[in-house]
Amino acid sequence: MKTFYITTAIDYVNAKPHIGHAYEKVTADIIARWHRLKGEDVFFLTGTDDNAQKNAQAAKEANLPTMEFVDKNAKNFKEMCDIFNISYNCFIRTTEKRHIKVAQDLFSKAFKSKNIYKGFYEGYYCLGCESFKTEKELVEGKCPEHNKEPELRKEETYFFKLGKYKNKIITLVSSKDFIIPKERKNEILSRLKSEDLNDLSVSRQKSEWGITTPIDKNHTIYVWYDALINYISALDPPKGKNFKKYWPADIHLIGKGINWFHSVIWPAILFSASIKQPKQVVVHGYLTMNGQKISKSLGNVIDPVELAKKYSVDSIRYVFIKDIPFGQDGDFSEESLKARHNNELANDLGNLVSRVLTLTEKNFPKGLKKSPLDKKLTSKLNIKKIDFHMQKLELQQALNEIWKFINECNKHINDEKPWELKGKELEKHLYTLTESVRIIAILISPFIPETSEKIFNQLEQKKGTLKDAVFGKVKIYKVKKGEILFKKIEMKEKTIQPEKIEQNLDKVDIEYFKKIDLRVAKIKAVSDHPNAEKLYLLVLNLGKGEHELQVLSGLKGDYTKEDLLGKKVVVIRNLKHVVIRGVESQGMLLAAVFKNKVSLIEPDSDIEVGAKVM
């Protein structure tokens, strides 16, 4: 059986987890679950970094013994993982004996092979990063990651010969897809080629916290040298069956702030120990609020555990993927979460399941037998395309493909009106739709697992694997419709108060207009606003690598749905999102108005989607 080993970063436990931690764990979980769905033997590792000096500092500020403080916060991280249905195989902590032993063994091995030596280090130390910074890395004298001035430190230390492996690391990083996305690979290569790769300080003079070096009791192992080793210590090397079975890791999933440690320092440690390199380092972006990174150090955290008390965990997982193209930064918004919960989860998916199961249970109380399939609907599902996107880690695109089929099922119900059918025609359409719901439940299981399980319970079927996502597999359905999948969230209506610029034409600064991001977009889908007769709900494609925009527009009376579908338009991309009658609108289209006739601004046909409008 094919194996698949995925890891997340292990988190500092100097405070409770924030939503960025939940985002990383959820994305890793989706990837792990997809590979399990394909029948692979998956090992999924996450955990906490207990040995950081800033954990000890935070414990001191909290007036608690360090171990008690670390235990308490590590428990919070594990609780968060469990609440968000993270299907880890192992939750490691770096205070575990098995980890300490492996970290000391590798340190000792590197010292004996003369890859570690004693010296003195003087430099700027960022406690937030737990690392020394060069002056080039600072922005206006501050660490760009934590926006704080580092401390100037001089201390006795042991050095690791990092520079010795520079050429090997460049060759590794240059190889295809070792680091994705490409921009993160280029950042590392640019730095490797433009800077000297200095030897790395890998010990700190003995403090009350950390792993004591095996060669000098007056020093503890530098936290990053120790922490990275968790990826193999969790597998019980060198003779453990898990190490032989799963190493090298298929994916190290990390945030962009720790790319250097994973793509340069970790490979050097492995080279020095003659251990195989991981196959891929996958770098995700940051969750932002109003464009600013969410982090403990910046003080703008969202507690994911508290958030999960307000909203469905599956709704949070869903919006992580729909709102943030994987690998890029993206804003998290409760308004967007509410809108997607109500429209895509409750309306699209929830209503589909409810309608199909209600009709099946009502018309076939003794069971719906296997019938010929309606290929007009079954042909709309492209599982190979979904899997292709998942293999490329295009999570948003994969989810979009699943949702396309969900919308096709809803359209099929509206077009065929099975409640008006009888006999074989009714059986054909309901069997096709019920099979569609089952297959949808398989495909969404990595993304929203709790919802998937609820659907299978109502179908009275077992989930199965991706091989079971084929039409005509179930011989008889005895469905038992349960509660609705998603209860609507009440939303307060917001109204837009446009500025009256026309009254101040002589006072408008050109800089005002430079802030407006106008883009060419293509209308991908058109539907009616569920609560407003005069509004269309449009889904706009902004080109490769961009997330889709949902826009409400009052075009009824001027355009039919067929007129709009596939049309190229110009949209304001960076408009503040508003909610109109319970549905979020994320932009505005440009149009001309003359004698009450609305005419959309249309770019020439050869202008690419995503092009900037000046």
Q: CA 345, CA 485: separation in Å to the nearest integer?
A: 8
CA 530 to chain centre: 29
Q: d(Cα 449, Cα 32) in Å, to the nearest integer?
A: 12
Catalytic residue among 16, 21, 322, 412: 21
**Has 126 been annotated as catalytic?**
yes
Query: How many helices (H) and strands (E) are present in the chain, helices listed first?
Result: 22, 28
| Dihedral-angle region of residue 393 (phi above 0 means left; psi in -120 to 50 means alpha; beta otherwise) | left
In the residue annotation, 547 being an active-site residue is answered as: no
Does residue 219 carry a catalytic annotation? no
Known catalytic membership, residue 129: yes
Cα gap 321→43, rounded to integer Å: 22
In angstroms, the CA 87 to CA 84 distance is 9
**In the annotation, is 293 catalytic?**
yes
Q: Is the peptide bond before 248 cis (omega within 30 degrees of 0)?
A: yes
Contact 318, 448 (CB under 8 A): yes
Tokens of 27: 């994305």
Taking the CB of residue 141, how many other CB atoms lie within 10 A of it? 10
**Residues recorded for the chain:** 614
CA 121/CA 123 separation, integer angstroms: 7
**Residue 579, amino acid:** V
Instruction: Name the active-site residue from 35, 54, 126, 256.
Output: 126
HSE value, Cβ hemisphere, 13 Å, CA-based, for 13: 28
Structure tokens at 424: 């074989």
Catalytic residue among 25, 54, 185, 293, which? 293
Q: How far apart are CA 253 and CA 27, in angstroms?
A: 9
Cα separation, 178 vs 175, whole angstroms: 6
Catalytic residue among 129, 338, 412, 454: 129
CA gap 377, 576 in Å, rounded: 37
State how far the Cα of 439 lies from the Cα of 473, in Å rounded to an integer.
Answer: 10
Whole-number Cα distances in Å, 232 to 206, 229, 248, 255: 25, 6, 9, 20
Whether the CA torsion 577, 583, 587, 588 is positive or negative: it is negative
Gyration radius (Cα) of the chain, Å:
27
Pairing of strands 292-293, 330-331: unpaired
Residue tagged active-site, from 143, 219, 412, 522: 143
CA separation for the pair 263, 167 (Å, rounded): 13
Report the distance separating Cα 279 and Cα 285, nearest Å. Answer: 20
Annotate 546-555 with b (16+ C-beta within 10 A) or e (fewer): bbbbbbbbeb
Tokens 């080109």 -> residue? 543
Catalytic residue flag (residue 90): no
CB count, 10 Å around CB of 408?
Answer: 16
**Is 220 within 8 Å of 206 (Cβ atoms)?**
yes
Active-site position among 16, 256, 296, 389: 296
CA distances from 15 to 180, 249, 286, 289, 304 (A): 29, 28, 18, 20, 13
Q: Which residue intervals of 311-422 are DSSP H helices? A: 313-323, 334-340, 351-363, 375-378, 383-391, 395-416
Q: Which residue has the tokens 């009709």?
A: 359
DSSP assignment string, 205-266 = E--SSSPBPSS-TTEEE-HHHHHHTHHHHTT-TTT-HHHHHHPSPSEEEEEGGGHHIIIIIH
Q: Are 348 and 411 in contact (CB under 8 A)?
A: no
Q: Any idea which residues carry the catalytic annotation?
A: 18, 21, 126, 129, 143, 146, 293, 296
